[in-house]
Structure 1
Amino acid sequence: MPSCRIPLVLLACGSFNPITNQHMRLFELARDHMTGTGQYQVVGGIVSPVSDGYAKQGLVSANHRTAMARLALQTSDWIKVDEWESQQPDWTETVLTMRYHYGRVLQQYKQQNNAYPDSIPDPELKLLCGADFLDTFKVPGLWLEQHVEEVAGRFGLVCVSRGDLQPEHAVHQSDILSRHHKNIFLLREWVRNETSATEVRRALRRGHSVKYLIPDAVIEYIQQHRLYTEDSERKNQGSLLRPLTKQSIPVESLDD
């Protein structure tokens, strides 16, 4: 018989430019924490690279970022890379990506467990992020309030804190997040790892070693395709992030 724990899938959205060991550690930390609550059974993880339409400076093409993520996760038996978001012609709001993946998760899980339709809880999908992600909810024009409400209320977040960040403050300062605080799981990474994709790109541009910061297979891919050069870092220079321009579109068109 299926476990009475709630099946949980963790979804990480982001640039992954490139994916780092720290990105992957978030999944392992989150799985341990959510399993430790006694309420959840983590059944999968999804890495969803953002599309090129995000227009972030230095963002290499989505096909490279998804390829590197797949190489990095080839030894994982529970985290997969999904390219749906990365293939969209425009930047996709996080809440729309979550709706898409939850629909797939729910359909697949019910197909696999159709023998126990009344005895198993529906799976849940939660957004996995670093604790600094919570601060993005306060950036003017970056999020629509109804999207924050849906992400925090309908789905929920698992936030991993590192360094001196205090995500509890972000939850306290937001009426929406505070209202849904029971659906926001905060955990701390005690084994410090301050690797960031920005620092990795900077080191690569300068010809410095990034070994042990990102997987060897990713390093080889970067070298083979000559990624992260001074020229690539100038891509989208001076452009506004797509969320800041798209959010001016009427809400009705965002949800079509």
Structure 2
Amino acid sequence: MIDTDKLLLPLSDTKKNIVLLLNGCFNPIHNNHIRLLEIAREHLNTLDTYHIVGGYVCPTHDAAIQRKISSIHATWQNRLEMCRRAVRDSSWIMVDGWLVSQEKNIGAQQSKQHLKDFLCKSYPSIEIVSICGGDALPKLKVTFKKELVICINNRPIEEFDFDEWFHSPAVELFHHNIILVHDNQCSKYMSSTNIRRRISENRFDLLVDDLHPSVLDYHREQEITYRSADETVLWSELGGNDGVVLGRGRCATVYQKEYKNRQVAVKVIRERRQFANELKVLTLLANESSYHVNLIEIYGIGDQFCVMEKRDIDLLSYIEKNRMLKSQTITTTFPNSQWLSFIKQMLTGFVHLISLGILHRDIKTDNILLSNMVVKISDFSVSVNLNSMTKMPVRGSMRHYPPESIDDKQIYTEKSDVFMFGCLLYEIVHGGQRVWHEVDTSEVVKRRLTGEKPLFSVQCEPWYLDAVTHDCWAFNSDQRPTFEQLLQNTFVRNN
């Protein structure tokens, strides 16, 4: 399955005979992938040391894609054919389809060795040199420690200072194995993620400069849409101004939009892996059978965004707004025992979440929304659906984390959520103030691991103190109640 018809023969007797290799998911392959090979070839030709015999694109195994996104819409045969179409007009770039067609993921390094062994049977002097973009070079550390790598840096990399990393002492040791080329003429940033989104929205008109025409046609011929069965909403179906931001977090931004003639909140998740984790929970909650009045309603899911009901205010903001004086108590902040109603509604919502097999893992006043005094549990960024979980994603707020889950994030149960709920009850009493707000998170972690419990500085009913300090904050998770038991105890003590 390895093409050889474009090798530029004969080989040189005075220069190093080089074959350039670009590995990638190519889901789908786009014009900047081809540009990497072209730029590398142009640069090496100026050095007058190398003879470029040919170039190969080598699509990875499906397993490499499954680590990044939740579902695969283009088969490996689709990706392989698109790669072949993308290099159809090239006089020197070919396709190595060996790795993508294997029963299991052999790995890029073994694939490279396979290509070398194959070519060297006929041309023993050929060397295979990997090329990559700037964002991929750190992943090739094992390679550039041993052999030559060509890196084409053509765009800024989000949340990563490439220059600082490249000039660090640990990397400078291997600069002799790295040829770094800055492509300042790259006119347009492209990503396979954005291309998939455009295709899922049927916006082929926006991709004429991104994909080879035959690759674009192939998507139409094979009806490849990249829109999963779980994705019920297209971005083009949303109205309203993109600039109205309701909230912004580390991994997502929430916008105010319009959907089916109603105001909605649209959460756009920036990280693909984060979206894949959250999608398992959102998909379950979007099912009509999962609806509960005390859970935020999910209207639909798109490509890295979800559409949900828009609420008035979060509980933390409500507390801060109504707590006019430091001397105020829980009863003055929440007139007419509204605090007790909120607690019962929250517990009812968490009982329902547990019945669905969902652990929230980030329980705090910010993530409780209110509308007409109705509680809505929200933000499932780090939540897990136990029925589809492979491993725990990133943690929630460490200030609220239970002791058993601090050292090992894989240890997390309903009783861990109960511990976090106790921290939320503390916040309600103390006007939204975080547990041990006067110290940093590392000190909170130390205190929690010793079993120390925060002291209540606001007077409240004895049963409430007991429910938090004795029940929710029990050091041994087995001694904590379930949400169902907390709910029953709350009704018993206040009826």
Shorter chain as denominator, the TM-score bin is 0.7 to 0.9
TM-score of the superposed pair, with normalisation by structure 1: 0.77
* Pairing partner for 2:105 from 91, 105, 112: 91
The reply to whether residue 184 of structure 1 matches residue 175 of structure 2 is: no
Give 1:136's aligned residue.
139
Cα distance in 2, alignment partners of residues 170 and 32 from structure 1:
26
Structure 1 residue matching 2:27: 3-state secondary structure: coil
Higher mean displacement: 57-66 or 37-46:
57-66
Give 1:18's aligned residue.
28
* Pairing partner for 1:158 from 150, 154, 158: 150
The one of the two structures with greater contact order (alpha-carbon pairs below 8 A, sep at least 6) is 1
Percent of residue pairs identical: 25
Structure 2 residue matching 1:155: 3-state secondary structure: coil
How does 1:186-225 map onto structure 2 within 5 Å?
Answer: 186-192=180-186, 193-208=188-203, 209=205, 210-225=207-222
Q: Which amino acid aligns with 1:15?
A: C
Q: Which amino acid aligns with 1:50?
A: T
Cα distance in 2, alignment partners of residues 233 and 76 from structure 1:
38
The reply to whether residue 124 of structure 1 matches residue 121 of structure 2 is: no
RMSD of aligned Cα (Å): 2.5
Indicate if the aligned counterparts of 1:13 and 1:48 stay in contact, CA closer than 8 A: yes
Structure 2 residue matching 1:109: 3-state secondary structure: coil
Q: Kindly state the Cα deviation for residue 5 of structure 1 after the two structures are TM-superposed.
A: 0.8
Cα distance in 2, alignment partners of residues 93 and 168 from structure 1:
28
The reply to whether residue 50 of structure 1 matches residue 60 of structure 2 is: yes
TM-score of the superposed pair, with normalisation by structure 2: 0.41
Structure 2 residue matching 1:108: 3-state secondary structure: coil
Higher mean displacement: 83-92 or 62-71:
83-92
Q: 1:174 to 1:91 in 2, by over 3 A?
A: farther
* Pairing partner for 2:81 from 67, 76, 85: 67
Q: Kindly state the Cα deviation for residue 180 of structure 1 after the two structures are TM-superposed.
A: 2.3
Q: 1:169 to 1:38 in 2, by over 3 A?
A: farther
Structure 2 gaps of 5+ residues are: 1-10, 232-272, 278-388, 391-495
Q: 1:178 to 1:95 in 2, by over 3 A?
A: farther
Q: Kindly state the Cα deviation for residue 232 of structure 1 after the two structures are TM-superposed.
A: 7.4
Structure 2 residue matching 1:230: 3-state secondary structure: coil
Structure 1 gaps of 5+ residues are: 111-121, 138-147, 241-256
Q: Kindly state the Cα deviation for residue 95 of structure 1 after the two structures are TM-superposed.
A: 1.6
Deviations 1:135-173 (A, max 9, x none): 336xxxxxxxxxx43x11433211100123564433333
Q: 1:232 to 1:86 in 2, by over 3 A?
A: farther
Indicate if the aligned counterparts of 2:153 and 2:180 stay in contact, CA closer than 8 A: yes
Q: Kindly state the Cα deviation for residue 233 of structure 1 after the two structures are TM-superposed.
A: 8.8
Cα distance in 2, alignment partners of residues 22 and 71 from structure 1:
15
Cα distance in 2, alignment partners of residues 181 and 227 from structure 1:
42
Q: Kindly state the Cα deviation for residue 228 of structure 1 after the two structures are TM-superposed.
A: 2.9
Higher mean displacement: 180-189 or 1-10:
1-10
Indicate if the aligned counterparts of 1:46 and 1:79 stay in contact, CA closer than 8 A: yes
Q: Kindly state the Cα deviation for residue 125 of structure 1 after the two structures are TM-superposed.
A: 1.1
